[in-house]
Amino acid sequence: AQRVTQPEKLLSVFKGAPVELKCNYSYSGSPELFWYVQYSRQRLQLLLRHISRESIKGFTADLNKGETSFHLKKPFAQEEDSAMYYCALNGGSQGNLIFGKGTKLSVKP
Amino acid sequence: DGGITQSPKYLFRKEGQNVTLSCEQNLNHDAMYWYRQDPGQGLRLIYYSQIVNDFQKGDIAEGYSVSREKKESFPLTVTSAQKNPTAFYLCASSIAAGTGHYGYTFGSGTRLTVV
């Protein structure tokens, strides 16, 4: 079954510390994975996608097919990074995204 | 200014009442989606539509209905059969089904409360 798992509901770090938000997936084909972010009182928005191998706002994510993971990383967290983060998997030909339950990142000053 | 507009922002429903949530997009996207967002549950797919006059049930379609008469519009009706309708509802669109690598564009959501 297709599934996205984000094991941490809440992650709290101090400003300047490294941060890693975990995402594991279950998918039989070649996965397309995304990270979405929802800042307070803002709409859910695309942060990055594995296919473009980009770095957005200092965040990167590498697809590890062996470990079926797509962890989101940033070397130095900022207070403005505090938000809800969702990992998502393209579920196939229908184009539906399957979302994890989300991780709330809190960056303390 | 392109985007997705959901209305209303807040909606209150009485027991036994049907209510309709609006979702309009001017992005010329073919595919549209409705998700329900509950604390600790993430986003769960209610219905999706890949093309005008066609739609499919998602994971939690019971108690909901949709229509797709126009490319720009994908309204969601929450019927009295939905036992626990209080939630935050998100509408999204994408260029086309099967091109998920472009990702979704989301609306700002409607918060529905049963009173």
Q: What is the pLDDT of residues A27-55, one digit of tens each?
A: 888 888 999 999 998 999 999 888 777 77
Does the distance separating the beta carbons of A101 and B106 come in below 8 Å?
Answer: no
CA nearest neighbour of A36 among B88, B26, B105, B109: B105
Question: Which pairing describes strands B110-114 and B10-13: parallel, antiparallel, or unpaired?
Answer: parallel
Cβ separation A32–B48 shorter than 8 A: no
Distance CA B22, CA A23 (A): 32
In chain B, the residue whose alpha carbon lies closest to the alpha carbon of A100 is B42
- The answer to whether A90 contacts B100, with C-beta atoms less than 8 Å apart, is yes
Supply B100's token pair: 């998920």
Which residues of chain A are under the pLDDT cut of 70? 92-95
Tell me which chain B residue has its CA closest to the CA of residue A42: B108
pLDDT of residue B98: 56
3-state DSSP call for residue A55? Answer: coil
Nearest CA in chain B to A44: B106
Check: CB of residue A27 under 8 Å from CB of residue A79. Answer: no
C-alpha distances out from residue A16 to A81, A106, B96, B102, Å: 11, 12, 40, 31
Nearest to A103 by CA among A78, A69, A72, A68: A72
Classify residue B100 by its DSSP letter: G
* B101/A51 CB distance under 8 A: yes
- pLDDT, position A95: 66
Residues B31, B88: contact at Cβ < 8 Å? no
